[in-house]
Structure 1
Amino acid sequence: MFGWTLHGDGRTVAPGKVVAPGERLTWPATIAMGVQHVVAMFGATFLVPTLTGFPVSTTLLFSGLGTLLFLIVTGNRLPSYLGSSFAFIAPITAATAQGAIGSALAGIIAVGVLLALIGAVVQIAGLGWVDRLMPPVVAGAIVALIGFNLAPTAWGNFQADATAATVTLVSVILFAVLFRGFLGRISIFLGVIVGFVYSTATGYFQATNPATGLSPAETIAQAAWVGLPEFHAPDFASPHTWSTMAMFLPVVLVLVAENVGHVRGVATMTDDSVNRYTGRALIADGAATVLAGAAGGSGTTTYGENIGVMAATRVYSTAVYWVAGLSAILLAFSPKIGAVFNSIPPGVLGGVTTALYGLIGLIGIKIWVDNHVDFSRPVNQYTGAVALVLGIANFTIVAGDFAFEGIVVGTIAALVIYHLGNLIARLRRTGADDGGPIPAVGQMGGDPQE
């Protein structure tokens, strides 16, 4: 498990070479690389609990613990940091708006269990059935609608302080455009810092909060440097829990796509044999998500920010991620750090989420582009078009005590339209072969491969 071999002289990486998962640099270099990964994941990981009202320190703790669990389950052969997943933002926001945090945690646990079960099936049967159930046109639609469904939340925060929101949004864009490499990848984090500084200069942190009788600055000052994170328990007893849990299940599709993409990315840059750990990766992320949901943390996923760091440094050593996970755990035991993140002004959040939620949506569109989805086919057109409108407008179906909102409705629509449309197309082709009516030109949906 921990038998890393020293790569070369332990200090440099030769041109064209990479530090493989089972290798490491010298321990001082490994520790420095681990801290860099913490910085890379920090901006995104703290945003999820900040936006959903979850305890920041608790989420940070379980991202660190989840990372260590992931390394153990994958036999210490698959480098990854498990940060808080953006895909959980929409269902957590909806669940906490209608009830307590316990219902949201129950939904997170349900996602984790289902993801782990999918991982077990993949480990036994392979990935083919996932590709058939969720081809690129369906996967892209689901990922896109999860991001765009959050647009009204971004607008609500933006209106709280339009000037601070605009300053933050412009900063995010400028950092992304002007900088390359690491600074460009953390443009959202840097934009939050600029908005934070602007709000400080305009007096936000000296204004008294009527709910607490304290200013944000006083709240931060009173927080201890060292202390236990804030834990919460899931609530499976409330009827509200079961009516909202359906909103969480589509997140599984996103997590499957992210984990599979992560494994394939690492395999491409290191060794194709890494692909055999795909099932284990899904099981590990599912177990880490269950662990987080059981005590008040947000659901986890493999992090693209850290993939970017590995690609830039060519260091894929799992030793680096042990350092990163342990560092995150240590940071979680500082209430003052949590108080700083909880004090981020709503206007700043509005600016950064305007960019962030849009970027989540674009990931789905990128799935379409990368896989050359043919939108001249009606079945593909309607799979994407209907699902996106249902998600963006947040169409809601109420059945008794259950309410199915935009993400669930859009996901179901994408799956039904695609698979039913292709079934009808196949039946029509069979009818034409048997002397039946011939489909009109351009009206056959077909699979992407056909």
Structure 2
Amino acid sequence: MAGGGGGGAAPPPKQDELHPHPVKDQLPNISYCITSPPPWPEAILLGFQHYLVMLGTTVIIPTALVPQMGGGNEEKAKVIQTLLFVAGLNTLAQTLFGTRLPAVIGGSYTFVVPTISIILAGRYSGIVDPHEKFERIMRGIQGALIVASTLQIVIGFSGLWRNITRFISPLSAVPLVALAGFGLYELGFPGVAKCVEIGLPQLILLVVFSQYIPHVIRTRHVFDRFAVIFSVIIVWVYAHLLTVGGAYKNAPPKTQSSCRTDRSGLVESAPW
């Protein structure tokens, strides 16, 4: 039986090496990317809208914690001012030296539960003066935050967290984000229920401006891009008209403090 030609089968062709996808300067269906920022007037409006979005979460934290600490409107105003100032510094540092994401670094709800445990500590229960109690609790919270942040700095700069994240799936962050988001319902929606005639129109207008009007008016992305600004302005004017019109003149004090536009007490209590 005659044999074939010498040599074995030809080796398979060498597979091309895998290369990452090329970086795109402009993503599809995205108006503004890192290399294509919006013009300055629109950027200022978008930044102000982002400020309005984070302002609610910034106000909720002191509103829920300061009364438990023994503070009043003056202390609440100082805490809100401090949160806004530190959030601005952190945001500037993040955009200049950090990941440069278009995000505002505000207060974190992950610290609310440990803060409440500090507030309810027994060593503060014997303090009678509310102002002294507020200062003592605030010092305890500040010390705990300093220690916690020091631990985070050590873990971050030592590279330990980078080694840990290799064994953690990105899906593991989903329960953490979900639990943090669900925690807002306990603080946010009861506040809406205290004045449903103002809170409910705000939610409805926000959905209408962001989800429905863009499908009707397709010329420019104005209503969906500035949905928060439009809805907040309309609802605030509506609430102010109810206030000056005497709609809450005979309402209970809790309803007036939640619905009227002149009963927050923050501006009057601010040092400036």
Shorter-chain TM-score: which interval? 0.5 to 0.7
For 1:116, the aligned partner's letter is I
User: CA 1:112/1:33 → structure 2, altered by over 3 Å: closer, same or farther?
Assistant: farther
Distance across 2 between alignment mates of 1:156 and 1:63: 26
Cα shift at 1:219: 7.3
Distance across 2 between alignment mates of 1:176 and 1:199: 21
Q: Does 1:57 align with 2:75?
A: no
Distance across 2 between alignment mates of 1:189 and 1:91: 31
Aligned ranges 1:45-444 → 2 under 5 Å: 45-52=54-61, 53=63, 55-71=79-95, 73-74=97-98, 78=100, 80-85=102-107, 87-88=109-110, 90-91=112-113, 94=116, 98=120, 100=134, 102=138, 104-106=141-143, 108-122=145-159, 127-132=162-167, 134-179=168-213, 181=221, 183-184=223-224, 187-188=227-228, 190-203=230-243, 216-217=261-262, 223=268
For 2:83, the aligned partner's letter is T
Aligned length: 202
Distance across 1 between alignment mates of 2:81 and 2:267: 16
Distance across 2 between alignment mates of 1:111 and 1:205: 49
User: CA 1:50/1:126 → structure 2, altered by over 3 Å: closer, same or farther?
Assistant: closer
Gaps in structure 1 of 5+ consecutive residues: 1-14, 231-334, 336-450
User: CA 1:140/1:79 → structure 2, altered by over 3 Å: closer, same or farther?
Assistant: closer
Distance across 1 between alignment mates of 2:189 and 2:104: 29
Q: List per-residue Cα deviations over 1:259-318 (Å, max 9, x = no partner).
A: xxxxxxxxxxxxxxxxxxxxxxxxxxxxxxxxxxxxxxxxxxxxxxxxxxxxxxxxxxxx
Distance across 2 between alignment mates of 1:183 and 1:89: 35
Distance across 2 between alignment mates of 1:48 and 1:147: 11
Number of the residue aligned with 1:362: none
Query: Residue 63 of structure 1 contacts residue 82 of structure 1 at CA under 8 Å; is this kept in 2?
Result: yes
Distance across 1 between alignment mates of 2:238 and 2:201: 8
Distance across 1 between alignment mates of 2:266 and 2:179: 40
Q: Which structure has the larger Rg?
A: 2
Is 187-196 or 46-55 further displaced after alignment? 187-196
TM-score w.r.t. structure 1 length? 0.35
Query: Residue 158 of structure 1 contacts residue 165 of structure 1 at CA under 8 Å; is this kept in 2?
Result: yes
Partner SS for 2:209: helix
Cα shift at 1:93: 7.9
Distance across 2 between alignment mates of 1:174 and 1:43: 18
Distance across 1 between alignment mates of 2:178 and 2:51: 24
Cα shift at 1:126: 7.5
Q: List per-residue Cα deviations over 1:34-56 (Å, max 9, x = no partner).
A: 52453142122211222123544
User: CA 1:98/1:158 → structure 2, altered by over 3 Å: closer, same or farther?
Assistant: farther
Query: Residue 175 of structure 1 contacts residue 187 of structure 1 at CA under 8 Å; is this kept in 2?
Result: yes
Distance across 2 between alignment mates of 1:93 and 1:172: 32
Partner SS for 1:184: coil
TM-score w.r.t. structure 2 length? 0.53
Cα shift at 1:16: 5.1
Distance across 2 between alignment mates of 1:219 and 1:130: 44
Cα shift at 1:127: 3.2
Distance across 2 between alignment mates of 1:139 and 1:109: 25
Cα shift at 1:143: 1.2
User: CA 1:47/1:155 → structure 2, altered by over 3 Å: closer, same or farther?
Assistant: closer
Distance across 2 between alignment mates of 1:126 and 1:219: 43
CA RMSD between the two structures: 4.7
Partner SS for 2:262: helix
Query: Residue 48 of structure 1 contacts residue 85 of structure 1 at CA under 8 Å; is this kept in 2?
Result: yes
Query: Residue 95 of structure 1 contacts residue 104 of structure 1 at CA under 8 Å; is this kept in 2?
Result: no
Distance across 2 between alignment mates of 1:120 and 1:193: 44
44, 50, 53: which one pairs with 1:41?
A: 50
User: CA 1:203/1:79 → structure 2, altered by over 3 Å: closer, same or farther?
Assistant: closer
Query: Residue 205 of structure 1 contacts residue 217 of structure 1 at CA under 8 Å; is this kept in 2?
Result: no
Number of the residue aligned with 2:128: none
For 2:84, the aligned partner's letter is L
Cα shift at 1:113: 3.3
Q: List per-residue Cα deviations over 1:3-32 (Å, max 9, x = no partner).
A: xxxxxxxxxxxx9599867x999xxx65x4
Q: List per-residue Cα deviations over 1:110-153 (Å, max 9, x = no partner).
A: 5543443333134xx67352242x42343111111111133233
Gaps in structure 2 of 5+ consecutive residues: 1-24, 64-75, 122-133, 215-220
Distance across 2 between alignment mates of 1:155 and 1:126: 35
Distance across 1 between alignment mates of 2:213 and 2:173: 31
